[in-house]
Amino acid sequence: MDKDEAKAILIANLKGSKSKRTPLLTIAEAVRLLINDKEYGSSSKVAESFGVKRQTIEAFEKMNDQPEEMKKMIQEGQILIDASTKLSSILDPQKRVKFAKVVAGLSAFDTRYVVDYYKKHPDLSPEECKKAVFDSKTVTNDIHLIVVPLDADQFDRFRSVSKRMGLKLEQAAKIALKEWVQNQGSE
């Protein structure tokens, strides 16, 4: 690849859409070529010339230094640019490849959480870190609300019954609804 081709690749891929038409490692190679060119000489100058943040250029530059096994995963689309950048913070290349295999296909956020968890618990394996992160995620349940119009007398009677039973209104309503549904099913 020559300098003009590298420029064309960056022009075509750095502005606009997050989806890249050119393989990520080809963009990374173009970035490195321009950083090493005397006209540019730094990631800051390349970023400024192509109207992107320095961090974007540096993220592509880091891809060039990934272990070959990780580069293959990047080429296959299993590891994207954000995940590659976060994985770069794992200094041991063998450990980095192990983590890459475990986080392949995860979102950038999940990858970030798994790697950050590892940094706080370096004695754990990549699999244990992933499990700990996913086990700690909040579980959400659907909640369905029913609005029931009651006149003042009905509401006062319902409130006094729930008070006698030592229940909050929501608890009493839930019990009443469950009993009604059960009675409807047994008829």
CB-based burial label for 22 (10 Å; 0-12, 13-18, 19+) = middle
DSSP codes joined into one string, 39-105: TT-SHHHHHHHHTS-HHHHHHHHHHTTS-HHHHHHHHTTSS-HHHHHHHTT--SHHHHHHHHHHHTT
Write out the two tokens for 90.
């794992």
Write out the two tokens for 13.
């891929």
CB-based burial label for 51 (10 Å; 0-12, 13-18, 19+) = exposed
Backbone angles phi, psi at 145, to 5 degrees: -105, 145
pLDDT recorded at residue 25: 93
Low pLDDT (below 50) residues in the chain: none
Write out the two tokens for 10.
């960056």
Residues 6+ apart with CB under 8 A from 52: 14, 15
> Whose structure tokens read 């891929």?
13
pLDDT recorded at residue 68: 95
pLDDT recorded at residue 19: 65
Can you give the residue ranges of every domain in the chain? 1-65, 71-140, 152-185
* pLDDT tens for each residue of 61-114: 999 999 999 999 999 989 999 999 999 999 999 999 999 999 998 988 999 999
pTM across the whole model: 0.67
pLDDT recorded at residue 108: 87
